[in-house]
Amino acid sequence: MSAPACTWLGRSVPRLEDGPLLRGLGRFVDDIRLPGLLHGAFLRSPHAHGRLTAIDAAAAEALPGVHGVLTYGDLRRVLTCDRIPLAMPAGAIRFDVDPFVLARDEVCHVGEPVALVVAESRAVAEDALALIGLEIEPLPAVVDPRAGLAPDAPRARLDCPDNRVAATEAAYGDVDRAFAGAAHVVREAFNLHKGGGHSIEPRGVVARFDQAERLLTVWDSTQMPHQAKRALVRTLGLAEHQVRVVAPDVGGGFGPKFVFHPEELAVAAAAMIVGRPVKWIEDRLESFTATVQERDQHWTIEAACDAEGRLLGIRGDLVHDHGAYTPYGVALPYNSATNLLGPYRLPAYRLAISLCLTNLVPATPTRGAGRPQGTYVMERLLDRLAERTGLDRAEIRRRNLITPDQMPYRTPLRTRDGKAMTYDSGDYVECQRRALALAGWDGFEARRAAARREGRWLGIGLANYVEGSGRGPFESAAVRVGPSGTVVVTTGATAQGQGTVTMLAQVVAEVLGIAPERIAVVAGDTNASALGLGAFASRQAVTAGNAAHAAALAVRAKILQVASAWLEASPADLELVDGRVQVKGVPGSGRALGEVADALAGAPGLALPAGVAPGLAAGVDFEPEGLTYCNGTHVVEAEVDPDTGTVAITRYTVVHDCGRLINPMMVEGQIVGGVVHGIGSALYERMLYAEDGQPQTGTYADYLLPTADVAPRIAIHHMESPSPLNPLGVKGAGESGTIAAPAAVASAVEDALRPFGVRVADLPITAARLHGLLAAAGGAAP
Amino acid sequence: MTERRSMRLTVNGAVRTAQVEPRLNLADLLRHEFGLTGTHVGCEHGVCGACTVLLDGATARSCLTFAVQADGCAVTTIEGVADPDGALHPIQAALARHHGLQCGYCTPGIVMTLLELQHDLDGAPIDEPALRRAFAGNLCRCTGYQGIVDAALSVLNAGAAEPCPSPRPDPAGKGHA
Amino acid sequence: MKPAPFSYHAPTTRADLLALLAAHDDCRLLAGGQSLVPLLNLRLAGPAHLIDITRVAGLDGIARDGEVLRIGATTRQRRAERSPLVRAAFPLLSDALAHVGHVATRNRGTIGGSLAHMDPTAELSVVALVADATLTIESARGARTIPFVALPTGPLATAIAPDEVLTRIDLPLWPEGHGWGFAEVTRRGEGFAVVSAAALVALAPDGTCARAALAVGGLVAAPARVGEAEALLARRVPRDDRIAAAGEAAARLPAESDLYGPEAYKRHLARVLTVRALRQAVDRARGGVRD
């Protein structure tokens, strides 16, 4: 029997992206040079809230090298509408607050763009910024969402009657009865901060407008070029064929580059007005004050269980800091609320959610998108209940885990699209069991004791999570083979480092029997794919992967049909190997794919092969049936220095199940990166504001990202429970690492300090904060 | 009247001249005057490390170095690291093998930092904690650093060190030219 | 994030440097630039003139002159860190330098630049203070020397006049066999210190402290000597209870809250780190290996 065709799925194929990036030959937005290129810089609000009363640009306009100082009124002349229509529909939103392209008459956060200078160089543009006279009448600012909901709170926006921009709830079952009959109840308040996305490449836009053809080309460091195009078409009054948005190499996304920001429109409009191409590259100070963030949630919550530790109900309130605009609806806190359930059976639940407008940068998803907070709350509550019931923390979880025989498990909650939140597959019990075994949970007390003898304080913690991934409604991919034999995949999916190109090449390689490196993938260009969404919700392997898979299958069917006639063999007796279609087991017997493509490309006046439609190509818009749920367990060991409050993570184990693996190496890269991002949320990352809304952490010396020396080595074990919801059986992996990390780290830190009586509730767990907890608990080692 | 100064430096072995404003930093000179866009700019305040280049053989933040300060110096950028025949430097190849890069934006700075480390180690082995400290000045948001660590260990502990691609300051330490 | 325009001067002789300083009012000195250039990029500083002193002959170099280690102000931190002379004569400096920034910033950053910037958390300032460093400051008006303790005048402010330049740092050497210790706490791994402490101890043959010096940085705008602890240790055996008492003395130093360290936390760290640094120093002085 001949060897099967080389299979590409499930193999750690080296990435196709790496070569140019390693040589410094990537092409990021700031690498783009165009003739006549001008440079933009934004004047930004120095106040968190105020009335904009005057802008005097005369001195700035007179500066040599300045080509224009544009304000709201200047840009409005080329726009179709006053505000940028961004709002994602959400019934719970009481008032949609879309931003202006530049502030019109009110500034609502420090860093909000007020004017755009276009000049010969960025340096000259910044010189001009200093010459603009800006008159702002300061107004009281709302910084803390809890204070913002008080009846006498100042209004964060003059155009909204109050600050409660949305109120919603996640609720089912008779939760009050559950509490009435409970053996144990625990209550806790959690003040959770989640840091920002912080891609190392900031945002950036280059826009060129061809006046003759009225053709706008925008190179944009975005996760969502098709959405950016839609926004530009709508706001600039151009037709779809007149706008092209290209996301070239993008230096990380992590959520913020999902959102269409005012600068993307302002730079495009400026290029139209000035008549020259314009580049704006966000500097790091701007990214701290103008790029959307994730920030604060305040939970007041209680949990009830029976005498055996089985959960009966959870109820409470969530106050969410929403920021000054609403580009993302209620998605963030709703993700938090729904992800709280995790892999557990929860009979009754009621969470009242209030979203408060604040005079801060809008809060929108960053990696994990609200889920880490929901998971954190559930896992901390389980730790509290374990303590109350005297159960081991792993055992109380085991008793509440959904079992494999319950799959698919339909929760009483609904997802954002109104469908029942249903876990499609997975073995959560086995996942936790393996994680405990691999991490040596049972042997930990010996390690703890040994460390104590050396004067060190070790703790262990764990957390389970699920993540709804692969969000729809669809993603597009097309596969075409040219007469040259080249296979080209075009897609609406985008790449910010996830390995999208390699992933899609592997999927298509598997079907067409051709090595991935011989497949070209064009992603992130609206001219290459008519439809598309892009990168969010850990979705692209699920949506684009299955789209490419289906398209490749259609192309394969055509190849077999044509070759069947040529080779006088049944399609069942043919195989695709190394770029050729041939009779099974007869190498060299067949024809190159290029020849099939050539025949289907047609020749003037001549007939195509009988019964075959023109072109060796197929396009598919894959619509997932519903979210597919990946899951996992993290086990963390941490050493805490009670004298300084410093935490060091000493061991980290992840068992992860994202269904069928396409490229295990890349999945592991996603998980490790996500975990370290989550460790940042747990221990270091904190965007601080003064009471007047002035940001206090505007550099990487103040706002701390995790570095190599504090990142632990992470051991990963895969389980593969294929998703029944898509032909490839895949689930998302991009965000999952972040989701459990803060919960697992907190559990370990608290465990290390258990003899001191310290309870960890708030995030991040900075050394200063932990010292405060130690001091409050009595401080001294027993 | 904008002051401009003439300067001359060696970039990846080739002599280059430029007329620069004193406020132009070395990163912008390399990227926007010389078209060497492999050196990336991430923070412009010296913390992220993406803009790291070798200046007379020693790592420097090109965002904290004015171009005029590099007058007379030899600069090596990521574009000068692979062999002229196209073969990747072992550190670059290892980064691909161990999935030590994702978006690739921080990668050039990390490669330059590891090249200097390799030179400084001069064949001596390094353990993982020391390695992690050695490139703690390079931020990466994608990888969680593990692939970079594995790649670096595989090269640095493989045996004899590769030669550094540009000359080092003399060990007696005459300092900056 | 681009600096405002400035004129750039790169004198090569001391005389030219001092003349430039005398001639220009609104100027800043550029050495390694690792602290200044971020301020320029952020436009938090915008001098009309920038005088690059790294090309001035004779301002760098490390030499031992009798019982003094002389370090030229423009000596790169990395060079001093790797200097066998420094390692042998003043190992505390070698150890502390390893905590300053990262290799890439130490390659550029200078000894004098760090001291003259007077960051409240700078490791080198703590070393200069504990070591009773003497600074040579020059101008067209002449040269003067001041003890390091007279340098700081406030947050990021020093006694160096606008027309002056710090040219040399002299560290009086401690006797051979002295012990040294350095300890710091950062908010994250290799990074800026919240609080740091340095200790030097010389023991007499009978095991008593012939000399002890202790300094803590990060509590207020400038580092402070822990004089009370030094007095407490003088001519006494540095027993554990005395080391603990030294820590208590450090915890009584003035401290100010900032964004990352409430006053109470900083005082606590002063205690913990003083004990750690002192214990290291004592162990080394005794020839022990307890570190």
The pLDDT confidence band at residue A609, using thresholds 50, 70 and 90, is confident
pLDDT score at A4: 44
pLDDT score at A779: 61
C42: contact with A, CB 8 A cutoff: yes
Nearest to A669, CA basis, from B91, B130, B148: B148
Share the mean pLDDT of chain A.
96
Instruction: Give the closest-approach CA distance of C194 to chain A in angstroms.
Output: 10
Domain span at C100? 62-172
The answer to whether residue B69 sits within a structural domain is: yes
Q: Which residues in chain A touch residue B142, judged by CB atoms under 8 angstroms apart?
A: 252, 497, 669, 673
Q: Cα dist. A613→A489, A572, A597 in Å?
A: 19, 20, 11
Residue that finishes a domain, picked among C137, C152, C172: C172
Using the beta-carbon criterion (under 8 Å), do C103 and B61 form an inter-chain contact? no
- Residue C37 sits in the same domain as residue C121: no
The answer to whether residue B177 sits within a structural domain is: no
Residue type at A770 in one-letter notation: L
Instruction: Give the closest-approach CA distance of B135 to chain A in angstroms.
Output: 7
Q: How many domains does chain C have?
A: 3
Question: In this model, does residue B70 exceed pLDDT 50?
Answer: yes
How far is C-alpha B152 from the geometric centre of its chain's CA atoms?
A: 15
A-chain residue closest to C184, CA distance = A644
pLDDT score at A624: 95
Chains that touch B (3 or more CB pairs under 8 A): A, C
CATH number for the domain including C116? Answer: 3.30.465.10
Using the beta-carbon criterion (under 8 Å), do A23 and B31 form an inter-chain contact? no
- Residue B53 sits in the same domain as residue B94: no
Angle at the Cα of B125 from the Cα atoms of B135 and B101, rounded to 5 degrees: 40
Question: In this model, does residue C291 exceed pLDDT 50?
Answer: no
Question: In this model, does residue A72 exceed pLDDT 60?
Answer: yes
The answer to whether residue B19 sits within a structural domain is: yes
- Residue B98 sits in the same domain as residue B72: no
Question: In this model, does residue C184 exceed pLDDT 50?
Answer: yes
C75: contact with B, CB 8 A cutoff: yes
Maximum Cα interatomic distance, chain B, rounded to a whole number of Å = 56
* Contact indicator for A685, A196 with CB cutoff of 8 Å: yes
A265-288: pLDDT as tens digits: 999 999 999 999 999 999 999 999
Question: In this model, does residue B167 exceed pLDDT 50?
Answer: no
Domains of chain A, by residue range, sit at: 18-25+472-622, 32-400, 402-471+626-782
Question: In this model, does residue B128 exceed pLDDT 80?
Answer: yes
CATH number for the domain including C187? Answer: 3.30.390.50
Angle at the Cα of A665 from the Cα atoms of A661 and A668, rounded to 5 degrees: 85
Q: Which of C34, C50, C189 sits opposite B22 (nearest CB)?
A: C50
The pLDDT confidence band at residue A6, using thresholds 50, 70 and 90, is low
Name every residue whose Cβ is closer than 8 Å to that of residue A372 and which is 6 or more positions away in sequence. A194, A678, A681, A738, A739, A740, A741, A742, A743
pLDDT score at C155: 87
The answer to whether residue C231 sits within a structural domain is: yes
Give percent of chain A with pLDDT exceeding 70: 99
Give percent of chain A with pLDDT exceeding 90: 94
Q: Name the helix (H) or strand (E) containing A741.
A: helix A736-752
Residue that finishes a domain, picked among B80, B104, B138: B80
Q: Which of C2, C74, C105 sits opposite B46 (nearest CB)?
A: C105
Q: How many domains does chain B have?
A: 2
What mean pLDDT do residues A558-578 have? 95
Question: In this model, does residue B4 exceed pLDDT 90?
Answer: yes
- Residue B58 sits in the same domain as residue B117: no
- Residue B16 sits in the same domain as residue B74: yes
Chains that touch C (3 or more CB pairs under 8 A): A, B
pLDDT score at C288: 55
pLDDT score at B160: 46
Query: Which of A122, A200, A250 to mutate: most B Cβ within 10 Å?
Result: A200
The pLDDT confidence band at residue B162, using thresholds 50, 70 and 90, is very low
B1: contact with C, CB 8 A cutoff: no
Alpha helices, DSSP H, located in A409-476: 428-439, 444-453
CATH number for the domain including B103? Answer: 1.10.150.120
Please tell me whether the peptide bond between A408 and the residue prior to it is cis, using omega within 30 degrees of 0: yes
Task: Tell me how far apart the alpha carbons of residues A332 and A368 are, in angstroms, rounded to a whole number.
Answer: 9
- Residue B110 sits in the same domain as residue B141: yes
Task: Tell me how far apart the alpha carbons of residues C230 and A286 are, in angstroms, rounded to a whole number.
Answer: 48
CATH number for the domain including B60? Answer: 3.10.20.30
Q: Are strands A133-138 and A50-56 parallel, antiparallel or unpaired?
A: antiparallel
Which range (A326-330, B162-166, C22-26, C251-255) has the least confidence?
B162-166
Domains A18-25+472-622 and A402-471+626-782 equal at CATH topology level: yes
Q: Which residues in chain C touch residue B175, judged by CB atoms under 8 angstroms apart?
A: 54, 60-61, 74-76, 79
Task: Tell me how far apart the alpha carbons of residues A577 and A429 are, in angstroms, rounded to a whole number.
Answer: 41
Question: In this model, does residue A415 exceed pLDDT 60?
Answer: yes
* Contact indicator for A41, A280 with CB cutoff of 8 Å: yes
A-chain residue closest to B138, CA distance = A707
C145-164: pLDDT as tens digits: 999 999 999 888 999 999 99
Query: Which of C1, C6, C8, C188 to mutate: most B Cβ within 10 Å?
Result: C8
- Residue B74 sits in the same domain as residue B94: no
Q: Which of B22, B23, B45 sits opposite C42 (nearest CB)?
A: B45
B52: contact with C, CB 8 A cutoff: yes
The answer to whether residue C224 sits within a structural domain is: yes
The pLDDT confidence band at residue B1, using thresholds 50, 70 and 90, is very low
pLDDT score at A611: 84
Using the beta-carbon criterion (under 8 Å), do A644 and C269 form an inter-chain contact? yes
The answer to whether residue C291 sits within a structural domain is: no
**Residues 78-107 (B) with a CB less than 8 A from some CB of C:** none
How far is C-alpha C181 from the geometric centre of its chain's CA atoms?
A: 14
The answer to whether residue C1 sits within a structural domain is: no
Place of tokens 């061991």: A651
* Contact indicator for A75, A160 with CB cutoff of 8 Å: no
Place of tokens 């000054």: A324
SS3 B79: helix
Angle at which helices C263-285 and A767-776 cross, to 10°: 100
pLDDT score at A388: 97
Instruction: Give the closest-approach CA distance of C2 to chain A in angstroms.
Output: 5
Residue that finishes a domain, picked among C131, C154, C172: C172
Question: In this model, does residue A353 exceed pLDDT 50?
Answer: yes
Q: Which residues in chain A touch residue B36, judged by CB atoms under 8 angstroms apart?
A: 24
Question: In this model, does residue B148 exceed pLDDT 50?
Answer: yes
Tokens read off for A677? 């991002």
The answer to whether residue C139 sits within a structural domain is: yes
- Residue B50 sits in the same domain as residue B95: no
Q: Which residues in chain A touch residue C192, judged by CB atoms under 8 angstroms apart?
A: 701
Alpha helices, DSSP H, located in A459-539: 500-512
Task: Tell me how far apart the alpha carbons of residues C11 and C8 are, in angstroms, rounded to a whole number.
Answer: 10
Query: Which of B1, B21, B54, B59 to mutate: most C Cβ within 10 Å?
Result: B59
Q: Which of B31, B35, B103 sits opposite A252 (nearest CB)?
A: B103
Bridge partners of A350? A171, A315
Q: Are strands A243-246 and A215-220 parallel, antiparallel or unpaired?
A: parallel
The answer to whether residue B10 sits within a structural domain is: yes
Domain span at B137? 90-156
The answer to whether residue B176 sits within a structural domain is: no
Using the beta-carbon criterion (under 8 Å), do B106 and A499 form an inter-chain contact? no
Domain A18-25+472-622 has CATH 3.30.1370.160: no
Q: Which residues in chain C touch residue B22, judged by CB atoms under 8 angstroms apart?
A: 5-8, 50
Instruction: Give the closest-approach CA distance of A527 to chain B in angstroms.
Output: 23
Query: Which of A43, A643, A687 to mutate: most C Cβ within 10 Å?
Result: A643
Look at the domain A402-471+626-782 and name its fold: Aldehyde Oxidoreductase; domain 4 (3.30.365)
- Residue B96 sits in the same domain as residue B134: yes
- Residue B68 sits in the same domain as residue B108: no
The pLDDT confidence band at residue A780, using thresholds 50, 70 and 90, is low
What mean pLDDT do residues A704-719 have? 98
Instruction: Give the closest-approach CA distance of A684 to chain C in angstroms.
Output: 7
Using the beta-carbon criterion (under 8 Å), do C107 and B45 form an inter-chain contact? no
What mean pLDDT do residues C228-253 have? 97
Other CB atoms within a 10 A radius of the CB of residue A457 amount to 21
A291-318: pLDDT as tens digits: 999 999 999 999 999 999 999 999 999 9
Q: Which residues in chain C touch residue B173, judged by CB atoms under 8 angstroms apart?
A: 62, 79, 82-83
Question: In this model, does residue B173 exceed pLDDT 80?
Answer: no
Residue type at A137 in one-letter notation: E
A-chain residue closest to C39, CA distance = A699
Chains that touch A (3 or more CB pairs under 8 A): B, C
Q: Which residues in chain A touch residue B81, judged by CB atoms under 8 angstroms apart?
A: 23-24
Q: Which residues in chain B touch residue A33, judged by CB atoms under 8 angstroms apart?
A: 32, 35
C269: contact with A, CB 8 A cutoff: yes
Instruction: Give the closest-approach CA distance of A774 to chain C in angstroms.
Output: 11
The answer to whether residue C2 sits within a structural domain is: no
- Residue C261 sits in the same domain as residue C219: yes
The answer to whether residue B170 sits within a structural domain is: no
pLDDT score at C270: 98
The pLDDT confidence band at residue A416, using thresholds 50, 70 and 90, is confident
Question: In this model, does residue B122 exceed pLDDT 90?
Answer: yes
Using the beta-carbon criterion (under 8 Å), do B22 and C7 form an inter-chain contact? yes
Question: In this model, does residue A438 exceed pLDDT 70?
Answer: yes
Task: Tell me how far apart the alpha carbons of residues A446 and A686 are, in angstroms, rounded to a whole number.
Answer: 35
A149-182: pLDDT as tens digits: 999 999 999 999 999 999 999 999 999 999 999 9
- Residue C74 sits in the same domain as residue C166: yes
Bridge partners of A409? A423
What mean pLDDT do residues A78-91 have? 87
A649-672: pLDDT as tens digits: 999 999 999 999 999 999 999 999
Instruction: Give the closest-approach CA distance of B172 to chain A in angstroms.
Output: 30
Question: In this model, does residue B46 exceed pLDDT 80?
Answer: yes
- The phi-psi region of residue C179 (left if phi > 0; otherwise alpha if psi is between -120 and 50; otherwise beta) is beta
Per-residue exposure over C180-190, b if at least 16 CB sit within 10 Å of its own CB, e if not: bbbbbbbbbbb
Angle at the Cα of C145 from the Cα atoms of C141 and C151, rounded to 5 degrees: 105
How far is C-alpha B21 from the geometric centre of its chain's CA atoms?
A: 23
B-chain residue closest to C42, CA distance = B45
Task: Tell me how far apart the alpha carbons of residues B80 and B89 are, in angstroms, rounded to a whole number.
Answer: 10
Using the beta-carbon criterion (under 8 Å), do A123 and C194 form an inter-chain contact? no
Question: In this model, does residue C39 exceed pLDDT 70?
Answer: yes
Task: Tell me how far apart the alpha carbons of residues A463 and A344 are, in angstroms, rounded to a whole number.
Answer: 12
C-chain residue closest to B2, CA distance = C5
Instruction: Give the closest-approach CA distance of B34 to chain C in angstroms.
Output: 19
Look at the domain A32-400 and name its fold: Aldehyde Oxidoreductase; domain 4 (3.30.365)
- Residue B116 sits in the same domain as residue B137: yes
Using the beta-carbon criterion (under 8 Å), do C38 and B133 form an inter-chain contact? no
The pLDDT confidence band at residue A126, using thresholds 50, 70 and 90, is very high
Nearest to A496, CA basis, from A216, A226, A203, A223: A223
The answer to whether residue C204 sits within a structural domain is: yes
Residues of A contacting chain C (CB within 8 angstroms): 121-123, 126-127, 130, 283-285, 643-646, 683-684, 688, 696-697, 699, 701-702, 704, 706-707, 709-710, 766-768, 771-772, 775
Bridge partners of A468? A629
- Residue B22 sits in the same domain as residue B73: yes
The answer to whether residue B167 sits within a structural domain is: no
B23: contact with C, CB 8 A cutoff: yes
Q: What is the pTM of this model?
A: 0.96
Q: Is the dihedral of CA B51, B56, B59, B61 positive or negative?
A: negative
Share the mean pLDDT of chain B.
91
Q: Which of A283, A704, A775 sits opposite C188 (nearest CB)?
A: A704
Give percent of chain C with pLDDT exceeding 70: 99
Using the beta-carbon criterion (under 8 Å), do C265 and A771 form an inter-chain contact? yes
pLDDT score at C109: 98
If you count them, how many residues does chain A have?
782
